[in-house]
Amino acid sequence: MTVAVIGGGAMGEAVIAGLVRSGREPADVIVVEQRPERAAELAQRYGVATASEVGAVRAAEAVLLVVKPADLPALAEQLGGQLRDGAVVVSLAAGIPTTAIEQRLPAGTPVVRVMPNTPALIGEGMAALSRGAAVTDDQVAAAMDLLSACGQVVEVPEKQQDAVTALSGSGPAYLFYVADALIEAGVVLGLPRATARQLAVQTLYGAAAMLRETDEHPTLLREQVTSPAGTTAAALRVLDAEAVRAAFVSALAAAAERSAELAAAMAR
């Protein structure tokens, strides 16, 4: 399958790197990037073909749109007469409903909507995929195969994309926020900043790895760390008193609400 990636920014490069890393022939990846210096950089780094015009997508069976949400409606209009028959369009632009893309493309064009996140840059992304009206099971499988080059992929109904955006799309920022708080707390308690950073980062990494590798419920893993009347219990008592769990629920609800507002605005 020949793949066209429109957009050579950070997320576009993450997709390109993932495709090449997973064994796809660089010659089968076409990058459409209007900045000549950026196109040359990607071609040199990954060996992919590059082009400056969207007409290059005529050679592709899958077209990945990795552009800013505000740029997507105009891009979809340009793509209208350029797609080959049966090509699937995969949008990684946050907040754009499949219907908003479909109405700007020829009738019956298969469109897939994806919410990625930034750990895709290191091959540890989490993406949620939703199918448009004309997408077949085989096309969904092909899109999931492409996206799995950057991490894990799950299919969800499109009505759940706002919740996905709030949880995994914005989720890395929450964990960076927690990491920053842990580091600052360590410094306040007398640790050198470099040591506090190392302790916090490896603790977060190790805890996440335990969640994934053991497949245990987080409550059980938390209880294994919490001795009766011990240090962890004392800390958790403060977190509960400060309603940290409720704050996370409220924060994700606010993010989901904002995602819905942006999607509604883009759909108009």
In tens, the pLDDT along 31-76 reads: 999 999 999 999 999 999 999 999 999 999 999 999 998 899 889 9
For 73, 126, 128, 175, 195, the CA distances from 169, given in Å and listed in that order, are: 21, 8, 9, 12, 29
225 three-state secondary structure: helix
Q: What is the mean pLDDT of residues 117-143?
A: 94
For the chain, give the number of residues.
268
Query: Strand order of the sheet with strand 88-91?
Result: 49-51, 29-32, 3-6, 62-65, 88-91, 111-115, 125-131, 151-155
| The pLDDT value given to residue 95 | 85
Question: What sign for the dihedral angle of Cα 101, 103, 106, 108?
Answer: positive
The mean predicted confidence, pLDDT, of the chain is 94
The two three-digit tokens of residue 131, written as one number: 């199918």
Strands (E), the chain: 3-6, 29-32, 49-51, 62-65, 88-91, 111-115, 125-131, 151-155
State yes or no: pLDDT of 268 exceeds 80: no
Cβ contact 34:61 at 8 Å: no
State yes or no: pLDDT of 266 exceeds 80: no
pTM to 2 decimal places: 0.89
Using pLDDT thresholds of 50, 70 and 90, give the confidence band for residue 265: confident
Q: What is the pLDDT of residues 82-128, one digit of tens each?
A: 999 989 999 998 888 999 999 999 999 999 999 999 999 899 999 99
For 120, 212, 219, 224, the CA distances from 215, given in Å and listed in that order, are: 22, 5, 12, 14
For the chain, list the domains and their CATH numbers: 3-161 (3.40.50.720), 171-263 (1.10.3730.10)
Q: What is the pLDDT of residues 231-264, one digit of tens each?
A: 999 999 999 999 999 999 999 999 999 988 888 8
State yes or no: pLDDT of 223 exceeds 70: yes
State yes or no: pLDDT of 157 exceeds 90: yes
What distance in Å separates the CA atoms of residue 38 and residue 119, rounded to the nearest whole number?
A: 21
Share of the chain above pLDDT 70, in %: 99
Cβ contact 87:58 at 8 Å: no
For 21, how many CA atoms within 13 A lie in the half-sphere containing its CB?
Answer: 16
14 or 1: whose pLDDT is higher? 14
The two three-digit tokens of residue 191, written as one number: 């640790």
| The pLDDT value given to residue 264 | 82
| The pLDDT value given to residue 94 | 85
| The pLDDT value given to residue 267 | 65
